[in-house]
């Protein structure tokens, strides 16, 4: 089947989604609230979810492997999380605008699981967390360039929207490629692109820029599923420490998914700063920046340093403090949901990893039976399906995968009741039991037969 033939079948399968999308494009650019939610010819529109299932507006149900791009590690509407949230709502105040006990309670739990985090601040998303971590690095070091790796994503703001899904230049010395309109030209000079999993080449670039580079920010597991080698991680920690460059782990995808203690727990590496999000918010918007106390204390408010205090307007020392604020930071309802989620994960994380391994093994066997080159790549509870024999170590290795065939399979799977955005990684949840895995394998066999 051609992709166009599959799309024609897909349009007939989801007419209400198509109609709702056509209405949405009249009032929302592209018909979606975030570009990542779109795929051709139109995305499915959902109206509900329960456990491992998503329900669309056309009456179909799907096993959900998107998990909203990772946060829903317990699936939809997990009982313990719902119960904790309802108790918080019944307290009568969803938002205080003041300090409250849950802020310190969550901080202590995160410190317990992430020993590199001595202090932390809350944000409203992973993007905000990485943005604030860079401001911390600038404030602490007095330097204003950063290093980021080719293929790594850290949010939708200008300084990191380079070389996320594009590659150019020598593989050992990548060129910065803008990934959006509206980026200032100087960002290409201020963001140095590094080659992932190549310690020798990375070290050479860092040594060239050590006097102007505040930090290296990275996904320890590229795009959530392609892991760094232990040798690379150990070497990167050593060289950044030696050169006085802060090391920032963006664990928005990997936190509570690679291990309960994130990728840093898996690699036994202590970064200077860590960014968390996704799973930690239990499906609600949340982020965290944590790390060394001497860095975090740059944000501690001092007398006369409140940028919003008009009484200090003539003598304010706000510029002497690293500014950080947010109406919804440390939201009590979100912290309640997050703490409940961590409580469940402390009992069930190993089970989720086991189910992930079963799923990967079963899918690899199905592709082997069909004679299609395929490998599952990932660690912990996340993986992706790559149709290639090439060993996956770098971003450019991922590009050797047969995405056209993978895309065809994914659209056919949608019509067999398996939900994922075409070509996206798989995020396994606690509710993906053996029955769900068997359903998945049968759906794959049907899709592959059609293909």
Q: d(Cα 180, Cα 64) in Å, to the nearest integer?
A: 30
CA dihedral 399, 231, 290, 428 (to 10 degrees): 50
User: 113-140: b or e for each residue (b if 16 or more CB lie within 10 Å)?
Assistant: bbebbebbbbbbbbbbbbbbbbbbbbeb
* Nearest C-alpha neighbor of 22 from the set 44, 42, 8, 38: 42
433 is catalytic: no
Q: d(Cα 313, Cα 404) in Å, to the nearest integer?
A: 59
Annotated catalytic residue within 65, 122, 153, 444: 153
Q: d(Cα 304, Cα 39) in Å, to the nearest integer?
A: 50
Q: d(Cα 181, Cα 35) in Å, to the nearest integer?
A: 14
Annotated catalytic residue within 56, 250, 272, 410: 250
278 is catalytic: yes
Q: d(Cα 65, Cα 76) in Å, to the nearest integer?
A: 11
Tokens 């969550």: give the residue.
106
* Cis peptide, bond prior to residue 342, ω within 30 of zero: no
Tokens of 210: 């050590």
Q: Is 226 left (phi over 0), alpha (psi -120 to 50) or beta?
A: beta
DSSP secondary structure letters along 205-270: HHHHTTTTEEEEEE-SEETTTEEPPHHHHHHHHHHHHHHT-EEEEE-TTTBTTTBTTHHHHHHT--
Annotated catalytic residue within 18, 143, 253, 278: 278
**The length of the chain, given as a count of residues:** 451
Please calculate the CA angle 436-39-379 and round it to the nearest 5 degrees: 45
3-state SS assignment for residue 297: helix
Tokens 């029955």: give the residue.
435
* Nearest C-alpha neighbor of 71 from the set 281, 236, 296: 281
153 is catalytic: yes
**Residues designated as active site:** 153, 250, 278
């Amino acid at each position: 089947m051609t992709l166009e033939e599959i799309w024609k079948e897909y349009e007939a399968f989801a007419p209400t989604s198509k109609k709702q999308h056509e209405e949405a494009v009249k009032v929302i650019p592209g018909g979606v609230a975030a570009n990542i939610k779109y795929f051709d010819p139109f995305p499915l529109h959902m109206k509900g979810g329960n456990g491992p299932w998503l329900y669309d507006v056309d009456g179909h149900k799907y096993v959900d492997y998107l998990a909203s791009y990772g946060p829903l590690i317990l699936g939809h509407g997990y009982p313990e999380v719902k119960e904790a949230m309802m108790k918080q709502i019944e307290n009568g105040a969803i938002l205080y605008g003041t300090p409250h006990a849950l802020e310190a309670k969550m901080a202590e739990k995160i410190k317990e699981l992430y020993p590199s985090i001595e202090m932390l601040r809350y944000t409203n998303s992973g993007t905000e967390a990485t943005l604030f971590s860079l401001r911390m690095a600038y404030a602490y070091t007095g330097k204003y360039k950063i290093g980021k790796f080719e293929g790594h994503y850290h949010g939708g703001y200008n300084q990191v929207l380079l070389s996320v899904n594009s590659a150019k230049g020598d593989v050992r010395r990548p060129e910065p490629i803008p990934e959006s309109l509206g980026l200032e030209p100087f960002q290409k000079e201020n963001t140095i692109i590094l080659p992932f999993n190549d310690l020798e080449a990375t070290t050479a670039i860092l040594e060239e820029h050590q006097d102007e580079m505040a930090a290296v920010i990275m996904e320890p597991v590229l795009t959530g599923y392609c892991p760094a080698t232990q040798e690379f991680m150990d070497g990167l920690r050593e060289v950044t420490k030696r050169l006085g460059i802060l090391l920032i782990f963006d664990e928005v995808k990997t936190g509570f998914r690679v291990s309960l203690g994130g990728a840093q727990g898996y690699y036994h590496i202590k970064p200077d700063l860590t960014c968390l999000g996704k799973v930690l918010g239990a499906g609600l918007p949340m982020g965290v920046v944590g790390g060394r106390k001497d860095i975090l204390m740059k944000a501690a408010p001092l007398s006369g340093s409140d940028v919003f205090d008009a009484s200090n307007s003539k003598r304010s020392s706000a510029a002497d403090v690293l500014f950080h604020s947010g109406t919804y930071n440390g939201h009590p309802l979100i912290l309640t949901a997050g703490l409940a989620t961590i409580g469940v994960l402390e009992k069930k994380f190993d089970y989720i990893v086991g189910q992930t391994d079963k799923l990967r093994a079963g899918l690899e066997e199905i592709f082997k039976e069909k004679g299609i080159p395929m490998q599952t790549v990932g660690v912990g509870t996340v993986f992706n399906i790559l149709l290639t024999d090439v060993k996956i170590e770098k971003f450019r290795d991922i590009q050797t995968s047969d995405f056209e065939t993978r895309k065809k399979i994914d659209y056919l799977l949608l019509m067999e009741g398996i939900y994922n955005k075409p070509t996206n990684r798989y995020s396994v949840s606690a509710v993906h039991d053996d029955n769900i895995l068997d359903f998945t394998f049968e759906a794959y066999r049907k899709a592959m037969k059609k293909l």
